[in-house]
């Protein structure tokens, strides 16, 4: 399978810094087989601390991709290897961030939304309230938010509509770097021709709904040249509606024959995205924890 992807990350109308970190990587296993890793991390804590936490996780997933992709391509059933790797990575990051927080007397953490597309399957690692959607005939939320209001919904004490207006809607019950333990959700499934995957932070989807995103043109079979425009439009719409958080999203299309594709798109987006949201944060990550 071949894929084309676009992304957007906006500081929003109030934040002083963008605490979201995005990672978007493509590798070519053979002529008609791509491997894609997409990650969105939404930092929690003070400005520098949240930005640092999200960048650390994005950098760790980038290193994992570079070190493990070739080996995974040789596995007949890579699911267990991928999820074991990711769980070990999350546990290590959680432990290290907690140590930094305790030493510095601060609060920090980050959500993690990671999506790997490889050999006709998708693999998801989910911690927090960023989301992964599958876009086919309809828009389907694949992940379940790790928030207090989601627990209330599942317990029958809140409706989805009530939860959208609840003041606790951004209150997490787990994230990487805070709390006694972190237990990621892992999901996998088959990829069908022409499907799309949307990764987004809470700032992107809080002011809209799946139904509205569909009406705005987010649907399977979307032409590649329109993908960026839809993300940009939804981002602008969120800002006009008063969204105060950072607004980040990644959209990935399985490219079927007849869908417009420009070979330079994923390469240029990868370079731009890494430079803006990960590489520029390497300087921050190389500082000692006392610089936070």
Secondary-structure class of domain 3-291 per CATH: alpha beta
Mean pLDDT on 142-157: 92
pLDDT grade for 156, boundaries at 50, 70 and 90: confident
Mean pLDDT on 119-141: 96
Q: What pLDDT does residue 285 have?
A: 34
Structure tokens, 202? 């809470």
- Number of residues that make up the chain: 292
Q: Are strands 247-254 and 196-200 parallel, antiparallel or unpaired?
A: antiparallel
Residue 283 pLDDT > 70, yes or no?
Answer: no
pLDDT grade for 280, boundaries at 50, 70 and 90: very low
Residue 99 pLDDT > 60, yes or no?
Answer: yes
Question: 256: part of which helix (H) or strand (E)?
Answer: none
Q: What pLDDT does residue 265 have?
A: 32
Q: Which residues of 178-206 are buried (b: 16+ CB within 10 A; e: fewer)?
A: beeebebebeeeebeebbbbbbbbbbbbb
Residue 5, phi then psi, degrees to nearest 5: -140, 150
Q: What pLDDT does residue 47 have?
A: 56
Q: What pLDDT does residue 127 have?
A: 98
Mean pLDDT on 78-104: 95
37: Cβ contacts below 8 Å, ≥ 6 apart: 23, 24, 25, 61, 62, 65, 114, 115, 116, 117
Q: What pLDDT does residue 73 have?
A: 80
Q: What are 177-232's pLDDT values in tens digits? A: 999 999 999 999 999 999 999 999 999 999 899 999 999 889 887 777 799 999 99
Q: Which residues of 233-248 are buried (b: 16+ CB within 10 A; e: fewer)?
A: bbbebbbeeebebbbb
Question: What percentage of the chain has pLDDT greater than the value 70?
Answer: 86
pTM of the entire structure?
A: 0.87
Residue 252, phi then psi, degrees to nearest 5: -125, 130
Mean pLDDT of the chain: 85
pLDDT grade for 256, boundaries at 50, 70 and 90: low
Q: What are the residue boundaries of the structural domains of the chain, listed by start?
A: 3-291
pLDDT grade for 266, boundaries at 50, 70 and 90: very low
Q: What pLDDT does residue 8 have?
A: 95
Three-state secondary structure call for residue 71: helix
pLDDT grade for 28, boundaries at 50, 70 and 90: confident
């Amino acid at each position: 399978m071949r894929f084309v992807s676009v992304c957007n990350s906006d500081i929003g109308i109030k934040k002083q810094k963008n605490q979201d970190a995005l990672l978007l990587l493509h590798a070519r296993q053979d002529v008609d087989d791509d491997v894609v890793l997409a990650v969105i991390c939404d930092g929690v804590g003070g400005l520098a601390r949240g930005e640092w936490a999200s960048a650390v996780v994005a950098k760790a997933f980038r290193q994992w991709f570079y070190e493990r992709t070739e080996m995974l391509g040789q596995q007949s059933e890579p699911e267990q290897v991928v999820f074991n790797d990711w769980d070990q990575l999350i546990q290590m990051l959680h432990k290290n961030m907690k140590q930094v927080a305790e030493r510095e007397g601060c609060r920090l953490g980050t959500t993690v939304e990671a999506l790997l597309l490889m050999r006709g399957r998708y693999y998801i690692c989910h911690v927090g309230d960023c989301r992964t959607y599958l876009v086919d005939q309809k828009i389907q939320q694949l992940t379940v938010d790790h928030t207090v209001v989601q627990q209330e919904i599942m317990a029958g004490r809140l409706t989805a509509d009530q939860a959208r207006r609840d003041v606790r809607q951004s209150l997490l019950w787990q994230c990487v770097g805070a709390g006694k333990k972190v237990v990621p959700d892992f999901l996998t499934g088959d990829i069908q021709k022409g499907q799309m995957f949307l990764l987004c932070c809470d700032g992107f989807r809080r002011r809209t709904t799946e139904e509205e995103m569909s009406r705005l043109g987010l649907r399977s079979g979307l032409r590649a040249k329109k993908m960026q425009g839809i993300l940009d439009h939804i981002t602008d719409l969120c800002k006009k509606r008063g969204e105060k958080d950072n607004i980040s999203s990644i959209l990935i299309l399985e490219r079927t024959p007849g869908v417009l594709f420009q070979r330079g798109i994923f390469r240029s987006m990868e370079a731009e995205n890494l430079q803006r949201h990960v590489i520029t944060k390497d300087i921050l990550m190389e500082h000692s924890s006392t610089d936070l």
